[in-house]
Amino acid sequence: MRKMIAGISVVLLVACDSTGDGNETLAQANASGNAASATLENRVQQSDATPLQKEQALALMEQRHESYEKIGDAMTVISRQLKAENPGLGQVRTAAATITELAPQVPSWFPAGTGPDIGKTEARAEIWQKPEDFAAKAQAFREAATAFNTAAQGADLASIRSAHANLGKSCKGCHDLYREEE
């Protein structure tokens, strides 16, 4: 199942990612040399001709949901620690690493055909109507995540807290416009 989902992501990256990040991911996927590679190439070729299948779209939307849950859980851990008098920096760093790893993938989670007209999602249709602005929000998030990760490597709580506040703003900056709050 995991390999299948990875294959789907690669197809979508090739089809839809214009930031250049998708190419890295594709290169990594191809370099991994596992048995799925041949299948991946077939899928990539097919994707030029056939639109995203509904089944694939729903699988991707489910994966997107899970990835955001990971980001949300990591932020909860960080917020809890930073409110404490003696924050556990080990936990903060682990959570920062999770967010930093996922942040560059965000643009690849929103190929055309994974919006509210396809299935249950909190992603708003505006994402596909204003792709450049959405990409800018994703980029701001990526930069804030990197800055937070850097601050978290140190032990200066004031810097870590300030970088955390900026990171939180980058979540909100996107959610306010592009996520349907339930």
End-to-end Cα separation, the chain, in angstroms: 29
CB 33 within 8 A of CB 90: no
The answer to the question of residue 128 lying near ligand HEC (CB under 6 A) is no
Interacting residue with ligand HEC among 26, 138, 152, 160 (CB under 6 A)? 138
Minimum distance between the CB of residue 143 and ligand HEC, rounded to whole angstroms? Answer: 11
What does each C-alpha distance from 168 to 68, 78, 140 come to in angstroms?
Answer: 14, 11, 11
- Selected from 69, 79, 153, 176, the binder of ligand HEC by CB under 6 A is 69
By beta-carbon proximity to ligand HEC, the closer residue of 43 and 164 is 164
Nearer to ligand HEC, 32 or 153 (CB): 153
Q: Which residues of the chain form contacts with ligand HEC (CB under 6 A)?
A: 61, 64-65, 68-69, 71-72, 75, 99, 106, 121-123, 137-138, 141, 167, 170-171, 174-175, 178-179
